[in-house]
């Protein structure tokens, strides 16, 4: 891949400090909010006394859960389409705007203080007196579901919200009985925090005259946020405007509404003044949606030739103290959408149990369930290779869906429409010089280092979308510039450039004349999906493509009038309408400009499409080197071969893969949101304690394309946003385990911090090769 | 409250601040130069990096009052009119930014790094950007951009 020639259209403002993030904006008469959060993991609230706080200088109001009840607010919505075992419904713990009766994790918002300055609000929080009665906390799902654990929710016996299954348990059991070999592995996928670099920030306003709220916020899509706010506040959507500008990253945790948002809107209405809130990093770590935190067990039954007869998985998922809108979805459908992965598997069974704990709620993060499945599958494939003695490449190749079987209907009902898994694997093996590994390992050994090689094949179902379709509107402005409107919000992916390039190519006009009006107040109300699930390019992007084609079609009639011929005699190519067989033409640009300034430009279009999922897939191969004396592990070679269909902008796709892969590197090597099991206190409340990958995270990275365009959308594109993360986790961990095995470690689990790697090596020396193995899920 | 005065992007600026006001808050709130960002509470992320008397400094690590009389440059003052600074140019050329939130700090830190080390090796870049976090790019293109900027600056 070579770097693209063109800079992104949005870059200019970011590199000159002219980006507009919510925290940069101030509204007249604005007030400032501070959330007083629970400092204990599990407690009854006996009383709250805000008198002293209210008497502090500059303090305007202190709101609590009582106020939210009085405002008639409802619990936050929770989305889940499926039923659990035996037809059971998901238990939905009601999440209020501000805590009511109980706090359930350190960081739970208890009171909202509004003052004339941020400092005054924060100072006053010290004066709110809360009388708590402490209850024992559970900080992991395994602890929460143990008999005798304190009940976090009365409505959730044994702290379980949902028990979900898929597949045929009996047939799978029979296959396991008949198996020549069974591979089995227990895994733990650590709890991490997405940590967009911009902490949450919002301004809530209420217009009394119009009886209308406006919410300026960080979001991945205004439509979904508005819908969720409307549901939770009991206010019709027409009464809420959501405005968003530049958003400093999302990764899944800017998709849902948060309870703080309702509290801020409530305060704005009460005070009749705008209320601004800018979260701290500590609030991001404690009270943003956290992610993952899953124990799992994977089992594969092989026949005598290493062919898979059946697979069986069990996941025990941490939901946190409350179930966020997508919390149940990502830990059921989000994982199981890829149940059989890239393999041709005749029968499978999987179960997922969702438990509440006294920790920050769990939401979506880069992959939203998919990396859990790829991790569970690929780690057990390595185990399969080990117990059968078949090479790791070979055991995969024997089981991959053969290329002549596409479209392939997987056991769990999903249809992989296109792909070339075997060809892609061969490409990846060659590109990574897999077979040259032994020589490189010998070199490392000479230097006293342990070298390991890891491989992961993956597939993922990109978001089908929660909205019935994606709608876009294209409107020409007074200067002839084209304004694009869509629901999907740009928060780093480069929508402004990608959409403009798609349209520019169809219409033959300069991409600089096409502007995305994302989340602007004057935007038309459109139906569509937020940015998420790696679907914007082939979702909204496909509709942009269609919209541009509709403009070209519409323009034919107008061009014919200009050229004084019948429309049938006009053809369009290279940005101009020509009279067929002649040189007489009018360019698209001229045609647009002829009509510019009109209130309703005749070429304006509004259009929509229903676009479903795509199935990007790939193979990542990694080499690491471990320094046994210190446990420090370095990635020395990373090659990713991916099929993400047709590529619109290479540079931006690479950027998405880099970002996704390095988030995987972060998780594998150290990111870990931790709570003290006894006290329930978070141990990683700042960037001093929470490890984040830095600029040396990934060296020696090479990306390769192996595209098989999909016919499921007009662009032929497949999602790229999460692929990197989905491939990286198992590949990286596989490489580390491979390195450690050569020193006698039998099992090792993330995070591969120097201390843990060193510890595992020491334990192996002391005759405990499985000291770092997780328990069964 | 105290009055502070300093030169910012070539202009003399002053304002009244509480004693506890951080330099970054003074820059953002009083001077309305919001290109300098805040990404953490513990001086780890580097989103607030500026130049202070010619050195890259995290503006959340000091009080506004400590910058009395200083010569400060923020991201807004880096380009010469329409002409981008080579580091800005390299960041956009190399796609070293996605959401843009870390970008002003990354650019200011890179300017500082290149001043000390005009021809940095990879290791020197890793070291120089140790205090700056980016969650979007995986840093690969940021490292590329610093090298590209070094070339551009060498002419
Ligand atoms: S805000 Fe200054 S280092 Fe994070
Ligand atoms: S570009 Fe988003 S944090 Fe760096």
- Tokens representing A244 are 């968003």
Residue A81 gets the label, from left (phi > 0), alpha (psi -120 to 50) or beta, of: alpha
> Looking at the partner chain, which of B88, B134, B142 has a beta carbon nearest the beta carbon of A15?
B88
Shortest-distance ligand to the CA of residue A688: 1
How many whole angstroms from its chain centre is CA B69? Answer: 19
| Pocket-testing residue among B103, B105, B143, B144, ligand 2, by greatest number of atoms within 8 A of Cβ | B103
- Are B48 and B74 contacting, i.e. CB atoms less than 8 angstroms apart? no
Tell me if A16 and B78 make a contact (CB, 8 A cut-off). yes
Distance, in Å, from the CA atom of A260 to the CA atom of A109, rounded to the nearest integer, reads 7
Residue A771 lies in a domain: no
Residues A376 and A477 in one domain: no
Same-domain pairing of A448 and A558: no
Which residues in chain B (26-65) have CB-CB distances under 8 A to chain A? 28, 33-42, 44-45, 47
Q: Which residues of chain A have pLDDT under 70?
A: 1-6, 519, 521
B47, B76, B93 ranked by CB distance to A16: nearest: B76
| CATH ID of B86-154, from 3.40.50.10490, 1.10.3720.10, 3.20.20.100, 1.10.150.120 | 1.10.150.120
Nearest Cβ partner of A248 from B28, B101, B130?
A: B101
Cβ contact (<8 Å) for A24 and B107?
no
Q: Is A89 exposed, middle or buried (0-12, 13-18, 19+ CB in 10 A)?
A: exposed
Q: What number is the ipTM of this complex?
A: 0.98
Q: Are residues A318 and A458 in the same domain?
A: yes
Task: Tell how many helices (H) and how many strands (E) occur in chain B.
Answer: 5, 5
State which of A557, A592, A609 marks the end of a domain. Answer: A609
**Cβ <8 Å between B103 and A18:** no
Residue A374 C-alpha to ligand 2 middle, in angstroms?
26
Model pLDDT for residues A524-533, shown as the tens digit of each residue:
888 887 777 7
Q: Which residues of A touch B124 (CB under 8 A)?
A: none
* Residues of chain A contacting residue B47, judged by C-beta atoms under 8 Å apart: 197
Answer yes or no: do A270 and A381 share one domain.
Answer: no
Nearest to A484 by CA among A19, A9, A17: A9
What SS3 class is residue A598? coil
- DSSP letter for each residue of A678-701: TT--BS--STTTS----TTS--SE
Inside any domain, residue A153: no
* Burial environment of residue B109 by CB neighbours within 10 A (0 to 12, 13 to 18, 19 or more): buried
User: Which pair of tokens denotes residue B45?
Assistant: 């992320």
Q: CB under 8 Å to A70, separation ≥6 — which residues? A: none
Q: Domain B2-77 adopts which CATH fold? A: Ubiquitin-like (UB roll) (3.10.20)
Q: How many C-beta atoms lie closer than 10 Å to residue A612's C-beta?
A: 15
A302 and A405 in a common domain: yes
Segments of chain B assigned to CATH 3.10.20.30: 2-77
Q: Domain check: are A604 and A642 in the same one?
A: no
| Whole-number Å distance between alpha carbons of A328 and A91 | 10
State the pLDDT at residue A649: 83
How far, in Å, CA of A745 to CA of A768, rounded? 8
Q: pTM for this structure?
A: 0.95
Q: To the nearest whole number, what is the mean pLDDT of chain B? A: 97
The answer to whether residue A179 is domain-embedded is no
* Mutation to probe ligand 1, out of B48, B62, B130 (largest number of atoms < 8 A from CB): B48
Local structure of A298: helix, strand or coil? strand
Residue A155 lies in a domain: no
Indicate the angle between helix axes B140-154 and B103-116, nearest 10 degrees: 50
Q: Quote the pLDDT of residue A488.
A: 78
Alpha carbon of B139 to ligand 2 centroid (Å):
9
* Full domain range(s) for residue A504: 470-528+540-609
Residues of chain B with CATH 1.10.150.120: 86-154
Interface test with A, best of B8, B29, B40 (most A CBs within 10 A): B40
Q: What is the biggest distance separating any 2 CA atoms in chain A, rounded to whole angstroms? A: 91
Instruction: Give the distance from residue B8's alpha carbon to the nearest chain A alpha carbon, in angstroms.
Output: 14
What distance in Å separates the CA atoms of residue B25 and residue B23, rounded to the nearest whole number? 5
Cα A130 to Cα A39: distance, rounded to the nearest angstrom: 11
Q: Look up tokens 């309702």; give the residue.
A: A262
Number of CB atoms found within 10 A of residue A236's CB: 8
* Same-domain pairing of A61 and A120: yes
- In the three-class reduction of DSSP (H, G, I as helix; E, B as strand; rest coil), residue A215 is classed as strand
Shared domain for A458 and A477, answered yes or no, is no
CATH number, domain of A73, equals: 3.90.1170.50
**3-state DSSP of B61-105:** CCEHHHHCCCEEECHHHCCECCECCHHHHHHHHCCCCCCCCCHHH
Is residue A274 within 6 Å of ligand 2 at its C-beta? no
Question: Are the beta carbons of A261 and A204 closer than 8 angstroms?
Answer: yes
* Residues contacting residue A396 through CB under 8 Å, at least 6 positions apart: A342, A343, A381, A425, A455, A457
Q: Are A495 and A556 in contact (CB under 8 A)?
A: no
**In this predicted structure, what is the pLDDT of residue A647?**
84
Residues of B within 8 A of A11 (CB-CB) are 91-92, 97, 100
Query: Which residue, B93, B58, B51, is CA-closest to B76?
Result: B51
Residue A623 lies in a domain: yes
Number of domains in chain A: 3
Same domain flag for A679 and A737: yes
Output phi, psi for A457, to 5 deg.
Answer: -105, 145
**Are A241 and A93 within one domain?**
yes
For A227, the token pair is 């819908």
In a domain, A209, yes or no: no
Domain finish residue from A609, A635, A657 = A609
Which residue, by CA, sits nearest to atom 1 of ligand 1?
A: B38
Q: Residue A632 domain-assigned?
A: yes
Give the number of whichever ligand sits closest to the CA of residue B40: 1
Query: Where residue A546 sits, what CATH number does that domain have?
Result: 3.30.365.10
Could you tell me which of A583, A546, A553 has the C-alpha nearest to residue A568? A553
Q: Report the alpha-carbon distance of residue A44 to residue A134 in Å, rounded.
A: 6
Distance from CA of B64 to the nearest CA of A (A): 15
User: Is the separation of the CB atoms in A59 and A115 below 8 Å?
Assistant: yes
- Neighbour-count burial of A573, counting CB atoms closer than 10 A to its CB (0-12 exposed, 13-18 middle, 19+ buried): exposed
Q: Which residues 6+ apart lie within 8 Å of A522 measured at CB?
A: none
- Say if residue A426 is in the same domain as residue A491: no
Q: Which of B8, B74, B98 to mutate to probe the A interface, most A CBs <10 Å? A: B98
The reply to whether A674 and A718 lie within a common domain is: yes
- Classified as helix, coil or strand, A485 is strand
Flag whether residue B74 sits within 8 Å of chain A, measured between CB atoms: yes
Among A9, A14, A667, A670, pick the best mutation site for testing chain B contact (most B Cβ within 10 A): A14
């Amino acid at each position: 891949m070579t770097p693209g020639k063109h800079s992104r259209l949005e870059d200019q403002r970011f590199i000159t400090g002219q980006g507009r993030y919510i925290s940069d904006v101030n509204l007249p008469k604005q007030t400032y909010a501070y959330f007083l959060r629970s400092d204990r993991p599990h407690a009854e609230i006996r009383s709250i006394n805000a008198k002293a706080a209210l008497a502090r200088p500059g303090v305007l109001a202190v709101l609590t859960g009582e106020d939210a009840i009085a405002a008639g607010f409802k619990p936050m919505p929770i989305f889940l389409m499926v039923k659990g075992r035996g037809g059971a419904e998901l238990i939905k713990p009601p999440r209020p705007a501000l805590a009511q009766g109980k706090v359930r994790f350190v960081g739970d918002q208890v009171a909202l203080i509004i003052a004339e300055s941020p400092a005054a609000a924060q100072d006053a929080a010290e004066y709110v007196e809360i009388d708590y009665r402490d209850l024992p906390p559970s900080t992991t799902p395994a602890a929460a579901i143990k008999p005798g654990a304190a009940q976090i929710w009365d409505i959730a016996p044994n702290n379980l919200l949902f028990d979900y299954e898929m597949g045929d348990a009996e047939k799978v059991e029979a296959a396991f009985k008949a198996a020549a070999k069974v591979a089995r592995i227990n895994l733990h996928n650590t709890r991490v925090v997405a940590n967009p670099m911009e902490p949450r920030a919002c301004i809530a306003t209420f217009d009394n005259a119009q009886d209308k709220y406006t919410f300026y916020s960080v979001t991945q899509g205004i439509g979904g946020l508005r819908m969720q706010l409307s549901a939770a506040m009991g206010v019709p959507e027409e009464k809420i405007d959501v405005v968003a500008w530049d958003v400093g990253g999302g990764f899944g945790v800017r998709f849902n509404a948060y309870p703080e948002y309702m509290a801020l809107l409530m305060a704005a209405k009460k005070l009749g003044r705008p209320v601004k809130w800018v979260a701290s990093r500590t609030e991001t770590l404690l009270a943003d949606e956290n992610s993952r935190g899953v124990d799992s067990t994977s089992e594969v039954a092989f026949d005598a030739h290493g062919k898979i007869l059946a697979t069986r998985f069990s996941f025990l998922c941490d939901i946190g103290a409350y179930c966020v809108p997508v919390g149940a979805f990502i830990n059921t459908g989000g994982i199981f959408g890829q149940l059989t992965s890239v393999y041709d598997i005749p029968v499978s069974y999987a179960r997922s149990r969702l438990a509440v704990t006294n920790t920050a709620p769990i939401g979506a993060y880069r992959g939203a369930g998919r990396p859990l499945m790829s991790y569970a599958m690929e780690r057990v494939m390595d185990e399969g290779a080990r117990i059968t003695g078949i090479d790791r490449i070979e055991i995969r190749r024997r089981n991959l869906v053969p290329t002549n079987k596409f479209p392939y209907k997987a056991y769990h009902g999903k249809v992989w429409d296109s792909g070339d898994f075997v060809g892609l694997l061969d490409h990846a093996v060659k590109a990574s010089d897999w077979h040259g590994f032994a020589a490189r390992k010998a070199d490392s050994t000479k230097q006293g280092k342990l070298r390991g090689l890891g491989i992961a094949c993956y597939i993922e179902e990109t978001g089908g979308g929660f909205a019935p379709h994606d709608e876009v509107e294209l409107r020409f402005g007074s200067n002839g510039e084209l304004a694009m409107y869509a629901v999907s919000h740009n928060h780093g992916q480069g929508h402004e450039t990608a959409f403009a390039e798609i349209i520019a190519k169809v219409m033959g006009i300069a991409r600089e004349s096409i502007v995305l009006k994302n989340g602007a107040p004057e935007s038309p109300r459109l139906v569509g999906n937020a940015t998420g699930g790696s679907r914007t390019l082939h979702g909204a992007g496909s509709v942009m493509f269609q919209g541009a084609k509709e403009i070209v079609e519409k323009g034919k009639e107008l061009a014919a009038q200009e050229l004084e011929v019948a429309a049938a005699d006009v053809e369009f190519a290279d940005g101009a309408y020509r009279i067929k067989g002649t040189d007489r033409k009018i360019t698209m640009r001229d045609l647009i400009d002829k009509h510019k300034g009109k209130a309703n430009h005749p070429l304006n279009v509004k259009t929509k499409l229903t676009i479903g999922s795509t199935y990007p897939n790939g193979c990542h191969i990694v080499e690491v080197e471990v320094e046994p004396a210190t446990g420090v592990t370095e990635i020395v070679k990373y090659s990713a071969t991916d099929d993400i269909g047709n590529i619109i902008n290479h540079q931006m796709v690479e950027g998405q893969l880099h970002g996704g892969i390095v988030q995987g590197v972060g998780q594998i090597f150290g990111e870990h949101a931790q709570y003290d099991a006894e006290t329930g206190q978070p141990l990683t409340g700042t960037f001093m304690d929470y490890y984040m990958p830095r600029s040396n995270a990934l060296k020696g990275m090479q990306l390769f394309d192996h595209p098989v365009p999909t016919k499921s959308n007009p662009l032929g594109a497949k999602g790229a946003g999460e692929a990197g993360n989905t491939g990286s986790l198992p590949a990286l961990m596989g490489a580390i385990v491979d390195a450690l095995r050569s020193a006698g470690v039998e099992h090792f689990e993330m995070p591969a911090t120097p201390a843990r790697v060193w510890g595992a090596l020491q334990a192996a020396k002391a005759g405990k090769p499985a000291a770092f193995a997780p328990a069964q899920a | 409250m105290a009055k502070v005065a300093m030169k910012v992007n070539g202009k003399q600026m002053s304002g009244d601040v509480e004693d506890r006001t951080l330099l970054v808050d003074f820059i953002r709130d009083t001077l309305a130069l919001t290109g300098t960002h805040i990404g953490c509470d513990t001086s780890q992320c580097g989103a607030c990096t500026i130049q202070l008397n010619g050195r890259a400094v995290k503006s959340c690590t000091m009080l506004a009052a400590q910058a009395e009389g200083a010569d400060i440059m923020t991201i807004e003052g880096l380009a010469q009119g329409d002409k981008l600074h080579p580091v800005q140019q390299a960041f956009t050329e190399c796609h070293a930014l996605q959401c843009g939130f870390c970008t002003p700090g990354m650019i200011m830190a890179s300017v500082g790094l290149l001043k000390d080390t005009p021809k940095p090796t990879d290791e020197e870049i890793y070291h120089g950007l140790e205090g700056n976090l980016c969650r979007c790019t995986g840093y690969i293109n940021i490292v590329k951009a610093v090298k590209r900027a070094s070339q551009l600056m060498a002419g």
